[in-house]
Amino acid sequence: MPNTVTLTDNRRGKSYDFNILDGTRGPSVVDISSFYSDTGMFTYDNGYTSTASCNSSITYIDGDKGELRYRGIEIEELAKSKSYLEVCYLLLNDAMPNELQTKEFDLELRHRSFLNEGLAQLFRAFPAGSHPMATLTAATAALSTFHFNHLELCKESEYQRMARRIVAKMPTIAAFAYRQSIGACFIQPDITKSYTENFLYMMRAYPGGKMHIDLDGERVIKEIEIKALDTIFTLHADHEQNASTTSVRNVASTGAHPYVAISAGVSALWGRAHGGANESVIKQLEMIGSVENVDAFIARAKDPDDEFRLMGFGHRVYKNFDPRAKVLKELQVQLQDELKLDSNLMKIARKIEEIALSDEYFVSRKLYPNIDFYSGIILTALQIPTSMFTPVFVIGRTVGWITQWIEFKKGKGMKIARPRQLYLGK
Ligand code: SDX
């Protein structure tokens, strides 16, 4: 049996054979790179619903099974038993770190978490009240000016240093973006704190780095908060060729600086159809306001003439439960009492979920809750301001973007991304 697909152009009565390429998991692909030269026509795939843009060995998703693997390891196992830093090491090195490697990696990221004073001053150019995603995008691109030598990388050690630098600095950039948005002074990283605790510290500390304690003398940053946020970072670390990763790879394909490619990823992620959905979910739950109003909003989501969509529902790939959403749902239950999750928002969310999982409109379109539907409630309970939900997504995803960038650069025969079009003009 030939390992090809034959396509017949009935207009011209001509047939063309294209090779089938098999992966180690998941669907095979039809190699149509010669399609235009063979047929004189382009293929058309609005939104790339059936298009593989590259080959990769980083992250695997089976949308029908609701399966997600980083370097072959299932997300449920990683979220339950590994720290976010171990997951970062796994993605970057395609191997889980041993104890010494974990310590060395952790120490290196702590030392690299500081920003050049000039970059810190950049934030001051923006008005207080600027959305943190806007300043975060600008600062990420500006980081390239302080490490311009990363434009020419060739040795593995250079790739690793470039990657560890931006993974280490992203929480500081995000925290500074937040502090700028509220007109507060910057809190420098504290190298005695872990990656995730440091982010919460830089967000919450008072001038001089002092942490207030609450009435019963408790430290403001609790272990359970650090663990919950660490899990959220892990769940967001990478996700195959989503819109923002595709943006990163497209910018990588032109030969631009890696940090401006990451900045392109940050920009793409901000949209509410993508990573910006987590902020929109909470705003939507607050707008719905009570369980009694849910039915009216469900009706709007189903109305083809109404732009309104149920934020946090649906996914291009998952036509089953998003496995990350399942982990977050369990986390919600664990945190329920400890972190005083907002019971009204929880009730509204549960009502939406209950209806959407049984309503024909959602069931027929396989619209399930995605990661953003649950993350917002937990982030709210972690006292993360709504404007910082997508920056939290950025922190988690930076390691995925830079790993995908490195894979692109090391790939054989990678070409500049340059799709064509169906022209409908004059
Ligand atoms: C993320 O790609 C990734 O991996 C992304 C991500 C990652 O980790 O990188 O997983 C993170 O972005 C998760 C998704 C967050 N976005 C949202 O929650 C926003 C709400 N969801 C939708 O906008 C939508 O579901 C998308 C954008 C997520 C997916 O869009 P698709 O695959 O292009 O699907 P579609 O727009 O073609 O919708 C198919 C049908 C349509 O109805 P019909 O035209 O067939 O009648 O489903 C309907 C849509 O109108 N539909 C919805 C809906 N999502 C799809 N109807 C109501 N509410 C929704 N949320």
Nearest CA to ligand 1 atom 16: 273
Checking if the pLDDT of 216 tops 80, the result is no
The alpha carbon dihedral of 153, 159, 161, 164 has a sign of: positive
> Is the Cβ–Cβ distance between 277 and 311 less than 8 Å?
yes
Pocket test for ligand 1, best of 235, 269, 274, 300 (most atoms within 8 A of CB): 274
- Give percent above pLDDT 70 in the chain: 99
Digit-coded pLDDT (tens) for 365-374: 999 999 999 9
Question: Cα separation of 18 and 21, whole Å?
Answer: 10
Residue 252 confidence (pLDDT): 96
Cβ(311) to ligand 1 under 6 A?
yes
Domains of the chain: 4-52 (2.20.28.60), 75-270+390-410 (1.10.580.10), 277-381 (1.10.230.10)
Please give the distance, rounded to the nearest whole angstrom, from the Cα atom of residue 267 to the centre of ligand 1: 19
Burial class from Cβ neighbours inside 10 Å (0-12, 13-18, 19+) for residue 424 reads exposed
Tell me: pLDDT of 159 over 70: yes
Q: Name the band, by pLDDT with cuts 50, 70 and 90, for residue 195.
A: very high
Single out the residue of 392, 389, 394, 124 nearest to residue 263, CA to CA: 394
Residue from 370, 374, 389 whose mutation best tests the ligand 1 pocket (most atoms within 8 A of CB): 370
Q: How far apart are CA 382 and CA 2, in angstroms?
A: 56
**pLDDT at 131 (0 to 100):** 97
Determine the distance separating the centroid of ligand 1 and the alpha carbon of 316, expressed in angstroms: 6
Whether 315 is catalytic is yes
Is ligand 1 within 6 A of the CB of residue 301? yes
Ligand 1 atom with least separation from CA of 245: 9
Q: Specify the residue with its C-alpha closest to ligand 1, atom 54.
A: 314
- Please tell me the total number of residues recorded for the chain in this structure: 426
CA–CA gap between residue 236 and residue 134 (Å, rounded): 20
* pLDDT for res 217: 65
Name the CA dihedral angle for 274, 278, 280, 284, rounded to a multiple of 10 degrees: 130
Q: What is the pLDDT of residue 220?
A: 74
Whether residue 312 has its Cβ less than 6 Å from ligand 1:
yes
- So what's the pLDDT on residue 299? 95
Mean pLDDT in residue range 323-344: 86
